[in-house]
Amino acid sequence: MASLYEMVDFCDNFLNTGRIKDYERAYNGLQFENDGTVTKIGAAVDANLLTIERAIVNKVDLLLVHHGMLWGQTMPIREIIYKKYKLLMANNLAIYSAHLPLDMHAEIGNNASIVRALGLQQIHKILMDAAYDFEIPLASAEYDRQALKAKLIALFPGTKCMEFGTKNPKKIAICSGGGGSHVVDMIQSGADTVITGEGPRHLFDIACESEINLYICGHYATETFGVKNLAQLVTGKFAVKSIFIEEECEL
């Protein structure tokens, strides 16, 4: 058994949640507390009803997530929201969320993890959104586009490939999740290849007209790394068990 609040302090400090700006609708940190003790950790991308119910079945009392329950807007506590709160309170389940801090973290973050998983070498970081100091890695590959595509499909089976650029990518920008909104910024920063989670249809036009390689790998799939890594760190430090709660999300 470990202290919830010691775990929260550890996560806040490790992820620098107090220093990293996030979108106004995001709330980083402890979103829902329990009685203050933790015996088992669950990691999940989302704090939806499915992951909450699966956490309870697996006797989890701290759920670490990337997409939390609180997104700025005041909501009446009824229907699904009421059901979530009731389940959390009845089962002593706490929820801790980390959004941009977990995307950007140089060691355990989603983007850094994708760089490592693909065997890429980070060149430097590029600034995507000055308002939030949102930086992503620009990396190079020691292999060609065909090998990159194969690695991506092995890692993210649902990858959609738009290959209009060089056959030997040298400047690969990686932005997990909803990074499609930043594709133009990545191109302007010198990327010849972009790997991201999701994006609108017009990204096809941008890819072919800008002559870049664009890989859409899934919002969910590209954001499983950070919470898994965070859970492993907390597990090691506080000697409690942990599990990853899969959502079978194809988006």
pLDDT in tens, 141-153: 999 999 999 999 9
The CATH homologous superfamily for domain 104-222 is NIF3 (NGG1p interacting factor 3)-like (3.40.1390.30)
Check pLDDT > 90 for residue 128: no
Q: How confident is the model at residue 29 (pLDDT cuts 50, 70, 90)?
A: very high
pLDDT at residue 224 in the model? 98
pLDDT digit string, tens, across residues 75-101 = 889 999 999 999 999 999 999 999 999
The neighbouring-strand residues paired with 243 are 42
User: Which bin fits 206, alpha (ψ -120 to 50), beta or left (φ > 0)?
Assistant: alpha
76 or 132, which is more confident: 76
Q: How confident is the model at residue 73 (pLDDT cuts 50, 70, 90)?
A: confident
Percent of the chain's residues with pLDDT above 70: 100
pLDDT over threshold 80, residue 132: no
Residue 106: exposed, middle, or buried by beta-carbon count in 10 A (0-12, 13-18, 19+)? exposed
Cα–Cα distance, 249 to 173 (Å, whole number)? 24
The three-class DSSP label of residue 47 is: coil
The reported pLDDT for the residue numbered 75 is 82
Q: What pairs with residue 172 in β-bridges?
A: 139, 193
pLDDT mean over 104-119: 97
Q: For residue 127, what pLDDT band results from cuts at 50, 70 and 90?
A: confident
Contacts of 4 (CB under 8 A, 6+ apart): 30, 33, 34, 36, 37, 38, 62, 94
| Angstrom distance (rounded) from CA 103 to CA 24 | 16
Q: Is the pLDDT of residue 134 over 90?
A: no
Residue-wise pLDDT tens digits, 30-43: 999 999 999 999 99
Q: Kindly indicate the confidence band of residue 24, based on its pLDDT and cuts at 50, 70 and 90.
A: confident
Q: What is the mean pLDDT of residues 214-230?
A: 98
Residue closest to 192 by CA, chosen among 147, 136, 145: 145
Superfamily name and number for 2-99+223-243? NIF3 (NGG1p interacting factor 3)-like (3.40.1390.30)
* β-bridge pairing 94-97 and 29-32: antiparallel
| d(C-alpha 27, C-alpha 70), whole Å | 6
User: What is the arrangement of strands in the sheet containing 193-196, beginning at the earlier edge strand?
Assistant: 121-129, 134-140, 172-175, 193-196, 213-216, 160-163
pLDDT of residue 131: 72
DSSP per-residue string spanning 111-132: HHHHHHHTT-EEEEEEEEEGGG
Quote the pLDDT of residue 26: 87
Task: Give per-residue pLDDT as tens, 154-165.
Answer: 999 999 999 999
* 5 token code pair: 């609040």
The pLDDT of residue 81 is: 94
Beta carbons of 47 and 95 less than 8 angstroms apart: yes
The chain-wide mean pLDDT, for the chain, equals 95
The single-letter DSSP state of residue 164 is: -
Domain with CATH 3.40.1390.30 in the chain: 2-99+223-243, 104-222
Nearest CA among 31, 160, 22 for reference residue 102:
22
